[in-house]
Structure 1
Amino acid sequence: MQLNSPVLITGASHGLGQATAELLASQGVPLALCARNAAPLHEFAAKLRAEYDVQVASRALDVNDAELLVDFVHEAGRRLGDLGGVVANVGGARGRSLADTEPDDWAYTLNVNVVNAMTVLKAALPQLRRRGGAAVLVSSISGSKPSPGLAYGSTKAALNHAATILGRELGPTGVRVNAVAPGSMLIPDRNWDRLRVADPGRYEAFLDEFPAKELVDPKDVAEVISFLLSDKARAVNGAVVPVDGGQNAPSAYGY
């Protein structure tokens, strides 16, 4: 992917999606950003346009609505030119243990962690082929290291395997697909930040899972995503790249 090729990022209004968008904008990359909440998304898009003088298309949507997601991919191509990169960043889960995870929870978690990533990639594929582009699927440390959250970990493991399959399937067409598996990230007003405030003792104990005694910074994961999208990573395909700071257990809550 050339530096000036547009990149589409799902879940771009906070956390890792926002950090990735900001890094790419600082490199002059045009962006197509989507997220569920309109106000923070459009405010962030305006900020990127003003600070970095880049084109930014944004649309509020739920990635579980496949029709809206596909339409946004097509709109992005019309407005910005063919996409050279896709970052499938949205994730989530319902249910925790086998006993409290119902069939609807499994369906939701599979859809939000795997199906929407395949939907956006399939829709963008003609554009990516014309650009010789790349896709990055955002997985998790929980896809390879067991932790509470049966459906979440299982579907992230599926996403990891999908990346390895797609690397071989799409590689002959000139499109690379990789996954990043972030460790536990410290994101303002999210899970681990809330734990830090509500239960400092447990949070401090959790830091022992990290050799450097600190959670992962989303900006560091964004750097790896940027590399994987770029031509510098042209020999990296079908890989699952851990960005976890050497983290051991994925959870502060035991197993």
Structure 2
Amino acid sequence: MMDTEHDGGQRAATGLLAGRRIVVTGGSRGLGEHVVRLLLSEGARVATCARKPEPLEALRRSLDSSAGLFVRSLDVTVPELLERFVEDAVSALGGLDGVVACAGGARGRGITEASAEDWAATWQMNVGHVARLIASSTPYLREAGGGSIVVVASVSGWKPGPQAQYGSAKAAQIHMVASLARELAPCGIRVNAVSPGSMLIRGKRWDRMRREDPPAFDRFRTEFPGGELVRPEEVADVIAFLLSDQSRAVTGINLPVDRGQNAPTPEGY
């Protein structure tokens, strides 16, 4: 387990999130990395975790020495590790003002092929991890006088597509957000979901399709009225907005960031 605090100097108190202390799960690559970099650029201090230590270390090395970043490698589905990370992150950051549940994933294929273990693992990675993250963060947010929680759901949580274990877990996240927004409102804590559409991330599925099978990629682009997939920077901008005071009257919503996408996969449903 890697555990590193990287804070070589006092960060300037400027930007949309100046002085905020924010925990992000799954922040080493893809959308999570874009979120971490944006929050730091907006003046926040950030703690993030991911399963593999190497991408976290690469992220840390790529940042200016004054970036306020705390990192730890862990599996968010392992009991107690996530809770301990939140506790230590709060200690390193000096408190907590915001949370982004970005870690997620899926296991298994179609309904006749996916095992009970595939369903359980997909559920724990998405629903279980988010529930435990929010439960362990709430006392610290309450202590700070309130805060903002953003759950990264998916277009697959409300537009049907394969595989069902992933879509149902994402739908559960969206419902959890609506419920917890009401439960935590008296504490001054806002809870919202962001549902990205299919994102064009370097090295990931759609980027590989674009390079390896251009005709298939062009067909998939027709699921987007404007003909362009979502970029992770666009989703990160929305997450930063929901963490900021500019969205102080917004809670309990599921905000699609999908460019009006129709089917969430090339399968057409």
TM-score scaled by structure 2? 0.91
For residues 130 and 220 of structure 1, the distance between their equivalents in structure 2, rounded to whole angstroms, comes to 31
- 1:117 is matched with 130
1:28 positional shift? 1.1
SS at match of 2:80: helix
Q: Please say if residues 160 and 240 of structure 1, whose CA atoms lie closer than 8 Å, have aligned partners that are also in contact.
A: yes
Q: Map of 1:4-153 to 2, 5 A cutoff?
A: 4-50=19-65, 53-131=66-144, 132-153=146-167
Q: Percent identity of the aligned residues? A: 47
Alpha-carbon displacement from aligned partner over 1:141-185 (angstroms, at most 9, x marks no partner): 000000111100011000000000010010111111000000000
TM-score scaled by structure 1? 0.96
- 2:5 is matched with none
1:100 positional shift? 1.1
Which has a greater percent of helix?
A: 1
For residues 210 and 254 of structure 1, the distance between their equivalents in structure 2, rounded to whole angstroms, comes to 12
What residue identity is the alignment partner of 1:70?
Answer: E
- 1:228 is matched with 242
Q: Please say if residues 66 and 119 of structure 1, whose CA atoms lie closer than 8 Å, have aligned partners that are also in contact.
A: no
For residues 208 and 172 of structure 2, the distance between their equivalents in structure 1, rounded to whole angstroms, comes to 28
Alpha-carbon displacement from aligned partner over 1:3-48 (angstroms, at most 9, x marks no partner): 3121111111111100011111101100101011101112212323
For residues 207 and 140 of structure 1, the distance between their equivalents in structure 2, rounded to whole angstroms, comes to 18
Q: 1:2 to 1:217 in 2, by over 3 A?
A: closer
Alpha-carbon displacement from aligned partner over 1:189-217 (angstroms, at most 9, x marks no partner): 11111111221111010001112211100
The Cα RMSD (Å) is 1.3
For residues 99 and 207 of structure 1, the distance between their equivalents in structure 2, rounded to whole angstroms, comes to 29
- 2:255 is matched with 241
For residues 149 and 57 of structure 2, the distance between their equivalents in structure 1, rounded to whole angstroms, comes to 24
| Structure 2 residue 168 is matched with structure 1 residue 154 | yes
Shift >2 Å, 4+ stretches = 45-50
SS at match of 2:222: helix
Task: Point out the more displaced range, 244-253 or 93-102.
Answer: 93-102
For residues 223 and 85 of structure 1, the distance between their equivalents in structure 2, rounded to whole angstroms, comes to 15
